[in-house]
Copies of this chain bind each other. A is one copy, B any other.
Amino acid sequence: MSVNLRIPGPTPLPDPVLKALSGQMINHRGPEFATLIAKLTEDLKKAFATTGDVVILTASGTGGLEAAVTNTISPGERCLVVSIGVFGDRVFDIAKTYGADPVKLSFLLGQAADPDKVRQALNADAKITTVFVTHNETSTGVTNDLGALAKVIKGEFGKTLVVDGISSIGSVPCPVDAWGLDVAVSGSQKGWMTPPGLAMVSVSKHGWDVIAKAKTPRFYFDLVKAKQSAEKGQTPWTPAVSVYYALDAGLKMMFAEGLEATHQRHARIGAHTRAMVKRMGFKLFAADERYASNTVTACHVPEGVTWKQVSERLRNDHQTVLAGGQGPLMGKIFRIGHLGWVNEKEIDQAGVALEKSLAAVGHSLGARSS
């Protein structure tokens, strides 16, 4: 029996991707790689819904976030980091590490960012040049209303908008151009049905103007070098070739399904998952279900239950892997990943396994109708 890996990335890989991974090496400075990177770039531009640029970095998502920060901000520069969890905090830490002057606007864990509060923060401090927003916060299972936030940040204030779209782009609508995102980051191990190892970063025309002026040092993550190399069919540094093959296979499957259909499937399975856990008696961690994520569902761990014990039962008795909470939420929530290659059946199986595992540790949920 294969494992039901239901964490918010890495995600299970479909057969065509697994097959692509075992492709033999090629010269990363030769014509085959040039063809591959050109194709991937065009496909990613469609998936990001942008006519701007998308570059691919050999790194995990956090490397993409570091690139987004160091390429857009100068030391001492005031920026606003809107944080609704671990990954928003991480962007703040990166900005702080590189000597920027970030201000953090935090929301209670489980809540989405309130556009009014963002407006107030921008009104209160004219020195802010750039705003960092997490689209989908993987640690809490909450998706910000990025369209509404962008209207304030770009529409009303004309600030530079940099977005962590690691666990959203490709899976849920995130129209980069329509919303005016200057820099947006995704990661291969999320909705793309690809292993970890690549970060994909879109940059708008305004984004490049900002990057040209930003003085934070960067070398490996220099987005200008990445763009210039891509125009010659290369990468500045040796790329993770196997993961490029996999991304190509993953994108092929996404285009075969249709990008909009992929988004709809994620919406459908998100709703299916929420209905299931509520029916089982769990309480969603998302404070307002309208902002509950369609790529990962977080639930409160019921009182009296030790998540580690449940997790071990899930793994050992049911070959099912769910994610626990991160940082301050460790032991308090658990998370079910439903992004990438996923269907209702796998969610239902995870639900059954969860119910049995809870029973095995002596806990029965007070089931209620949803």
Contact = CB atoms under 8 A, between A and B. Distances in A.
Interface string A221-243: 10000000000000011111111
A217 B196 CA distance: 25
Contact of A217 (B12, B99, B242): B99
B24 A2 contact: yes
A369 interface: no
B219 A66 contact: yes
B7 A27 contact: yes
A81 to B, nearest CB: 14
Contacts of A12: 24-25
A29 B22 CA distance: 24
A22 B25 CA distance: 14
B98 A219 contact: yes
Interface stretch (A56-64, A102-110, A278-286, A292-300): A56-64
A61 B22 contact: no
Interface string A107-129: 00000000000000000000000
A308 interface: no
A206 interface: no
What copy number does this chain have within its complex?
A: 2
A58 B3 contact: no
A10 B28 contact: yes
Nearest to A239: B196
B241 A242 contact: no
Contacts of A28: 10, 196
A144 interface: no
A18 B102 CA distance: 45
Interface of A: 2-3, 5, 7, 9-13, 18-19, 21-31, 58-63, 66, 93-94, 97-99, 187, 189, 195-197, 217-221, 236-243, 246, 315, 321, 323
